[in-house]
Amino acid sequence: MITEETVDHLGWLARIKLTEEQKEKFTDQLNSILGYFEKLDEVEADVPPTHHVLGLTNVFRDDVAGQSISQEEALGNAPKKERGYFKGPRIV
């Protein structure tokens, strides 16, 4: 059962500011989604879990260093930069 507190917390984890209206709306929506997925509880317990939908395993590349992009390109979309670094908020 998802409460408004849960949604509030999820909003904080995702760094999204939610209005009271949105909180109410998302609480309802998330609960209905969870209810929909409860269908899965009816599956027999001996079915192996699906970890991946492709059925592929072991896709690797060789350990070879390739081209990187330039510092200029890397910082191209950065709203703030300084001396070749990205500039971000202080986090303690």
Partner 1 sequence: MKEVIIGLEVHVQLNKLRSKLFCSCSTQYHDSEPDTHTCPVCLGLPGALPVTNGKAVDNAIKVALALNCNIEEWTMFYRKNYYYPDLVKGFQISQYDYPIATNGSISLDTEDGERAIRIKRVHMEEDPGRLVHVGTIDKSKYSLIDYNRSGVALLEVVTEPDLRTPKEARLFLNKLKNILEYLDVFDSSLEGSLRVDANVSIAGGKRAEIKNISSYKGVEKALLFEIVRQNNLVRRGVKVVQETRHFDEVRGITISLRTKEGEEDYRYFPEPDLVPITIRDRVDDIKKTLPELPDAKRQRFALQYGISDNHAKVLISELGLANFFETVATEVDANLSATWIADVLKGELNYRDLDISAFSPAHMVQILQMLKKDTITEKGAVQVIRTLLDEGGTPSEIVKRKGLLKIAADVSENAVFEVLAENPAAVQDYHDGKDEALNFLVGQVMKKTRGRADPRTVSKLLKEKLQNAPDNHREA
Q: Footprint of partner 1 on this chain (CB under 8 A)?
A: 9, 12-13, 15, 51-54, 56-71, 74-75, 80, 82-92
Choose between 13 and 21: whose C-beta lies nearer to partner 1: 13
Distance CA 30, CA 22 (A): 12
In this structure, what token pair is assigned to residue 13?
Answer: 């984890």
- What's the min distance (Å) between Cβ of 54 and partner 1? 6
Distance CA 49, CA 40 (A): 11
- What's the min distance (Å) between Cβ of 27 and partner 1? 17
Choose between 15 and 39: whose C-beta lies nearer to partner 1: 15
Choose between 21 and 62: whose C-beta lies nearer to partner 1: 62
Q: What are the residues facing 82 on neighbouring strands?
A: 85
* Spatial contact of 27 and 7, defined as CB atoms under 8 Å apart: yes
